[in-house]
Structure 1
Amino acid sequence: MWIFAVEVVCLGTWILLSAMESHDEDRTSASSRVSSSTAATPSQVSRNVAATCTSALRKNSNTDSKVNGVILFLAGKNEPFFLSRTLPLLEAHFLVYFSYPVHIFHEDMPEQWQTAIRDAIPSACRVSFEDVGRFWRELPDGVTEKQLAAWMRTPPQRRYQGRGYRIMCRFWAGLVWRLPSLDVYEYYWRLDTDSYLTSHVPCDVFKLMQVNHCVYGYRSIRGENPRVVWELWPTFLKWAKAALSPAELAGLTGFALNASTKKYEGVMYYNNFELGAMKLKRHQLYHSLFQFLDTEEPRGIMRYRWGDAPIHTLAVETVMQHEGWKKCQFDKRFAGYMHGKR
């Protein structure tokens, strides 16, 4: 087993970063050490907290009081707005006041682009890059290129995103949370390459999550296009009936189905702006559900283009309700947030 270790000053502590070829299941990670005050009696209903920036959270914190958090991006090969707008806005409205590390997943990103990214966010206490191209070069076990092409040629699927997008959904829904590179962190903030913070972030969002004992943070809940969640709910139920108690299943059903029609409409947390504790995404129930959806028929991520948002919403809510953990809801106008190529 080869180990590469480097010590860096970030978050006011000496952090040992390891890149290991072995993926030991029993390794101890920072993600399992979130404050025990977030724990609760199992099978409670998750609690919603309004994300409010207090005067204490607005202060430019001393380095040694920062939360062990990281900002995550997945950058493709054609991201014109990422370098010209997203990163400069992140620097001007957040990082210059609250210096946190930024970790960027990519595929074969040129060194000159990595340098340009570092130059765009000089206030980040560290900028790291991780090539995850292997996930795009291989399909899930049991799915062939010929089979996937046939699925995408069916009339209902022709209008929707293709191979690369579906693998991206698979990546964010589950694969990313298994990566050893994230072991050292307790919290994450996921943003898209076209996520724009158009005004000042009024406080340290990681500390806001911590002081409120929240393990998930989101802006809004919306519905997905029913054509790209085809068979997701019945497939979830197959897993849930075996994995959850009747009370837990009833709670999830109440959350996921429309209160009036009692139908599943692809409920999802708006996850191109989301914060969370690593222990949430690495919870055994989260992993179990993703594994089931990824490997069992109908293999809807690749067949039907199930998005990462509705998948991770079912998984997040399952864990939240099982543990009785809190979630923070941010105002839709928080930091002037905008999304999309505009």
Structure 2
Amino acid sequence: MLIEVCVHIQSFAIRRPATNLDPPFHVGCQNPVMNVAPRANATLVMLARNSDVSGAVHSVKSVQTQFNDHFRYPWVFLNDEKWSAEFMEKVGKAAGEGVNVKFEKIPRAMWGYPEWIDQDKARRKMEEMERRGIMYAGQESYHHMCRFQSGFFYDHPALESYKWYWRVEPDISFTCAITYDPFIEMEKHGKKYGYTIALWERGTTVASLFRKLSDYKARVHIPSTSLWTAMIDPSYLPWPFRRFLSLLRNRDAYGDIWNMCHFWSNFEIADMDFFRSPAYRSLFRYLDEDGGFYYERWGDAPVHSLAAALLLRPEELHHFSDFGYIHANLQYCTHAPTDEARRRGELVPMLEGRGEELGCRCTCDLGIKIVEPVCLNRIKQTVG
């Protein structure tokens, strides 16, 4: 039994490639800004509500200052309700002159309960999850949003002519200047999905999601990639006892467990042809018909993450390690702050006196928690 356990655990070891399959696209500031090439077929996208106007303005100003004032990519704003005049005026002004801005409504067919969902059961489940303290689980609109972001945004009429999208949330900040075109670089290097932050999901929100997807993987015979393996921690129980663990949440049929690592999708730059592919559409339809977007609180972040691990090769993903990024009470810094800087707990320039390094004119706000790199390190093993 001990030998069997050792062999089983060893089967989950990730072999690092001999070379780095995902280096940064550029190092340091690009001077002059690399904005002379033809633009990609791309847009910046924000899903927001009228009440998010202050956060939306903050995010748009950050993106424009750090990137889009030089590149002039269009914006598309999506809402399940009619946009207010205040939102359109203030956000349009923040985007600036010469930038194409569209304010679009989400079609009713893309937002709301599908016909196979028992709405009374769904509302009972939401109330139960809210009593258990599961974040946002009691908000019906949040469930609609997660379903829309998982399976419909890429088919919205305002986006169907675009290939690439950059997702922007209200109340985010970029803390580095972005002096090259990430869309062009993604296209040039054969990348399909880009992220900045990898962290743990709350297991109670997605209790059955991993099991559903691992069963789907087995049913349609999808081979395991090293990225999928990186998302799993092996059970230390010997066969056949570990199969009893499959009855627990976030485990596959063999008793091995999802380590809850996923990409934080409030920032992502992605090829929408990946989401529009038959493989992803089939996967989403399988999940949608199961009902977990309403009977549990499946978020689009774990859905996108596990789908990418299933359907993409590790080298088709890109970590934007040179994009400093803040969302809510978490941030990603391009470099680890010194102990002295941590003690000061202030806004620290990350490249001061250190020569040409990763990122351009980056800062790190030490008053905001820096995401632990455990998940990122685990995932990055797959590319070198």
Q: Indicate the TM-score class for this superposition, using the shorter chain for normalisation.
A: 0.7 to 0.9
**Worse-matched range after superposition: 116-125 or 280-289:** 116-125
Name the residue aligned to 2:319. 329
Name the residue aligned to 1:96. 69
Higher Rg: 2
State the shift of 1:267 in Å: 2.5
Name the residue aligned to 1:73. 46
State the shift of 1:120 in Å: 0.9
Q: Which amino acid aligns with 2:266?
A: N
State the shift of 1:158 in Å: 4.2
Name the residue aligned to 1:117. 91
Counterparts of 2:206 and 2:155, CA distance in 1: 24
1:121-173 Cα distance to aligned partner (Å, 9 max, x none): 11563111210162686312222432221111226764231211111111111
* Structure (1 or 2) with the greater strand fraction: 1
Counterparts of 1:93 and 1:249, CA distance in 2: 38
Q: Which amino acid aligns with 1:92?
A: T
Counterparts of 1:57 and 1:217, CA distance in 2: 24
Q: Which amino acid aligns with 1:98?
A: F
State the shift of 1:102 in Å: 0.7
By relative contact order (CA 8 Å, sep 6+), the higher-ranking structure is: 1
State the shift of 1:51 in Å: 2.7
In 2, are the aligned partners of 1:108 and 1:133 still within 8 Å (CA)?
A: no
Name the residue aligned to 2:163. 186
Q: Which amino acid aligns with 2:62?
A: L
Unaligned runs of 5+ in 2: 1-16, 237-255, 330-367, 369-384
Q: 1:82 to 1:56 in 2, by over 3 A?
A: same
In 2, are the aligned partners of 1:101 and 1:124 still within 8 Å (CA)?
A: no
2:326 aligned with 1:338, yes or no? yes
State the shift of 1:282 in Å: 1.0
State the shift of 1:182 in Å: 1.8
Name the residue aligned to 1:149. 123
Q: Which amino acid aligns with 1:150?
A: R
Q: What is the CA RMSD across the aligned residues, in angstroms?
A: 2.7
Name the residue aligned to 1:279. 273
1:219-262 Cα distance to aligned partner (Å, 9 max, x none): 132220111110111111222122234xx146565132126764
In 1, are the aligned partners of 2:53 and 2:91 still within 8 Å (CA)?
A: no
Unaligned runs of 5+ in 1: 1-44
Name the residue aligned to 2:219. 242
Name the residue aligned to 1:256. 231
In 1, are the aligned partners of 2:33 and 2:179 still within 8 Å (CA)?
A: no
Name the residue aligned to 1:16. none
Q: Return the match for 2:26 from 45, 48, 53.
A: 53
Q: Return the match for 2:108 from 125, 134, 152.
A: 134
Q: 1:272 to 1:308 in 2, by over 3 A?
A: same
Q: Which amino acid aligns with 1:340?
A: A
Q: 1:204 to 1:267 in 2, by over 3 A?
A: same
1:43-101 Cα distance to aligned partner (Å, 9 max, x none): xx9x9512332677962423x61111111110123214324411111222211111101
What SS does the corresponding residue of 1:182 show, helix, strand or coil?
Answer: coil
Q: 1:66 to 1:136 in 2, by over 3 A?
A: closer
Counterparts of 1:68 and 1:155, CA distance in 2: 41
Name the residue aligned to 2:249. none
Q: Which amino acid aligns with 1:151?
A: K
Q: 1:142 to 1:272 in 2, by over 3 A?
A: same
State the shift of 1:317 in Å: 2.1
Identity of aligned residues (%): 23
Counterparts of 1:101 and 1:231, CA distance in 2: 38
Counterparts of 1:155 and 1:70, CA distance in 2: 36
Q: Return the match for 2:182 from 205, 211, 214.
A: 205
